[in-house]
Amino acid sequence: MTIPLDTEFDTDFANQIAQLEAYNKHHYRPNSYLHKWWARRCGSTFRLILKQLVADEAQRDYYTPGGLAGHIILDPMMGGGTTLHEAIRLGAHVIGADLEPIPVLQARATLTQVNLAELERAYKKFYTELRKAVSPYFQTTCPESGLVTAVNYTLYGVQRICNGRPVIVVDSLVLRVEPDGSTIRLCPTCHAVLLDTAVCTCTDGGDKPPLLEKSAISHEDEVRDLERPFYQRYVPLVLVTRCPRQKRLLFKSPDVADLALLAEANALRPSLPFDPADFAIAPGRKSRQLTPRDIHNYLDLFSSRQLLYLHHAIQLLPQFEEKIRLNLGLLVSTSLEFNAMLCGYKGKNKRRAGAIRHTFSHHAYSFPYTALENNPVYPRQASGTLQKLFQARIRNGRLWAQKPRERVVGSEKLKVKSEKGFVAIVGETDGGVEVGSVREMMPGRDPAFLLLQGSSTQLDLPDGSVDFIVTDPPYFDSVQYSDLAAFFRVWLEQLLPEAATWRYDTQESAVDPHQLDSESRYTELMSGIFAECRRVLKAENGRFIFTFHHWNPKGWAALTVALRQAGFALVNRYVVHSENPISVHITGMKALLHDAILVFAPVESVDVVWQRPSQINLSDSEQFCYDCGTLLGWMLPQDLAETAVLDLWQEMLADV
């Protein structure tokens, strides 16, 4: 059988649609974004890859449904689950494996077909009971109407010692710039909220330390307060609410009653049934950002009101049956990215998609001067609230899964039929039936999915049982998924204790979170995973495909060694746009904006002869990935020692 991907891939179309999707991936594939995960690839790119594995030319078009019925597709490093969702839509049986429990649970929740009306009824019951328990701690009196109203979020400043005196530092004294140019800001002396050009009449702040903007202090003069737990290092400055009558946003200074509610929540904190030992922060390359700040426990990253929210959520979940409980538990967990004291405030500018700068906006822990404490049970669909997240992550995702749609690019005929630039793919469904073994994946049966939690160096699959392997390996040594995921994992273990194996050896992670000789571990583990891929892949017409990019020659050398040891040769390589250039975590960095799509087959079935490139283009992201793919193809059949492989990559990428 001829594999079209061996010789064909429409890179022009792939680039057009990926450049659009890269800006808002979660809007294009909402059903695969139930829970936070990192470094996701464009679903459109993987759909195109999979379409080029379709034998029937009539079903190979991007906008034509199906094409892979009866085939078995494996992703041994599934992460966000892109391959599984794209392949099952095309009618394939899919297998996903990951050491981390979060990808496994997210895939199970989003691929399992659950009645949306049933989910909505359960959520309404859960939210109503949760709000009843938690909302009394998130209320205030409207300064205009005098009516009791819900707090949307609370802004805090961080306490510091600067030049020997106590101060409170914020990112900016300006809270909001209105469309007409008027401002809402804080008085630096008494902390009062001032409107537009109003001048504060205070003479001094009494016992209140002065407010300083972060731009007004130097790190040399700044001393952190490490004596108190992290959450206590912040002082409440502003409550943001809405007038019940006029419905407009209001900023107010906390009054005596507001401070009493905070004190009441803090008084309840010691009685909450959270064992600090269950929340201890393990040493890791990202969690090392916490320990210098004397943060050794995940509990300290949350306010007392946020812990009350989590406590009541944990208490309420057991009443729901397993499939519902899984969805609701993941929803609460993912909400923590918007409901921790690591969240910042970005709502002051005229254009603001949401007020919250979420915890992992930089793919790392961040420590804002102006911290934002969100109200997770706020009744409106505001940024980071359960109401908003249920709509975006569950309801929209489920509706899309029932009737997937794709962005229309290049086809005038389709554009006429499209709605707001999208067209439905009639006949596809993003979901299937979970099975317990590959033997249940029979031709003619409805698309099925098999999920394996554990190391992919040992897959519980028969030899030659998989038609194609499509994946996106970890990014060598830069993104610490397991380490960052612990922020959610400790809570998911409380929310869904029976749903997964929560304690596992993180040293089995391909990117070692403890940095124990990470380079050799990456090569070792990739070699083991690739060898397993070779074992389970069908010998005849099997293909192993993955996307990859990296400036570091050590990353390319590790792949070269692992692929050669596993017995793979390069069939072809393509390059496609992959990254949004304005993503916060890469802005201002020399980031690669493209992925190499690398197509491999068992070495004995490949007759392609690759020529060594004379040089690697280091100035152009697209050409760089293309040249690296070519060099990889040439190097795989060469009789080079491992040290020589690394030396050659370092020579070719010497000026990176």
* Domains parsed from the chain with CATH numbers: 7-116+395-570 (3.40.50.150), 119-318+331-380 (no CATH)
CA distance linking residue 358 with residue 341, whole number of Å: 10
pLDDT at 476: 62
pLDDT tens per residue, range 278-327? 999 988 888 888 988 999 999 999 999 999 999 999 999 999 999 999 99
Those residues whose C-beta lies under 8 Å from the C-beta of residue 645, and which sit 6 or more positions away, are 557, 560, 561, 635
Tokens of 207: 């016992």
* Separation CA 578–CA 493 (nearest Å): 33
Q: Which of 398, 396, 401, 394 is nearest to 429 (CA)?
A: 401
Nearest to 85 by CA among 537, 429, 451, 434: 429
Closest C-alpha among 542, 526, 394 to residue 465: 542
pLDDT recorded at residue 282: 83
Phi, psi of 237, deg, nearest 5 = -120, -35
Beta-bridge partner residues of 112 = 432
Sorted by sequence, the CB contacts under 8 Å of residue 523 that are 6+ apart come out as: 557, 558, 561, 562
Cβ(585)–Cβ(361) below 8 Å: yes
pLDDT (0 to 100) of residue 2: 79
Sorting pLDDT into bands at 50, 70 and 90, what band is 514? very low
Residues composing the chain: 656
Per-residue pLDDT tens digits for 4-48: 999 999 999 999 999 999 888 888 999 999 999 988 889 999 999
Spatial neighbors of 376 by CB under 8 A, at least 6 apart, are 134, 306, 309, 335, 338, 339, 384, 385, 386
Structure confidence at residue 517 as a pLDDT band (50, 70, 90): very low
Residues paired with residue 470 on neighbouring β-strands, in sequence order = 545
- Name the helix (H) or strand (E) containing 14: helix 11-21
pLDDT at residue 185 tops 90: yes
pTM above 0.85, yes or no: yes
pLDDT in tens, 346-369: 987 756 557 899 999 888 898 999
Share of the chain above pLDDT 90, in %: 75
Q: What is the mean pLDDT of residues 599-620?
A: 95
pLDDT band, residue 580 (cuts 50/70/90):
low
Looking at the predicted structure, is the pLDDT value of residue 56 above 80? yes
What's the pLDDT band for 516 if we cut at 50, 70, 90?
very low
pLDDT in tens, 634-653: 999 999 999 999 999 999 99
pLDDT average, residue stretch 138-143: 95
**Tens digit of each residue's pLDDT (9 = 90 or more) over 441-453:** 998 899 999 999 9
Dist. CA 279–CA 213, nearest whole Å:
33
Beta bridge partners of 544: 469, 600
Task: Report d(CA 171, CA 159) in Å as an integer.
Answer: 12
Task: Look at residues 643, 648, 655 and name the one whose alpha carbon lies nearest to residue 523.
Answer: 643
pLDDT of residue 583: 47
Does the pLDDT of residue 254 top 50, yes or no? yes
Averaged confidence pLDDT in the chain: 91
Rounded-to-5 percentages of helix, strand, coil across the chain: 40, 20, 45
- What is residue 489's predicted lDDT score, i.e. its pLDDT? 96
Task: Give the pLDDT confidence of 551-568 residue by residue, as tens digits.
Answer: 889 999 999 999 999 999
Give the SS3 label for residue 531.
Answer: helix
Q: How many C-beta atoms surround the C-beta of residue 500 within 10 A? A: 20
478 or 427, greater pLDDT: 427
pLDDT at 349: 73
Range ranked top by mean pLDDT from 19-23, 343-347, 460-464, 549-553: 460-464
Q: Which amino acid does the sequence have at 292?
A: P
Helical pair 11-21 and 43-51, crossing angle rounded to 10 deg: 150
The identity of residue 539, as a single letter, is: A
**pLDDT of residue 513 exceeding 50:** no
Residues 413 and 603: their CA atoms lie apart, in Å, by: 43
Q: What is the mean pLDDT of residues 526-541?
A: 96
> What's the CA gap between 28 and 398, in Å, rounded?
13
Q: Among residues of the chain, what percentage have pLDDT more than 70?
A: 94
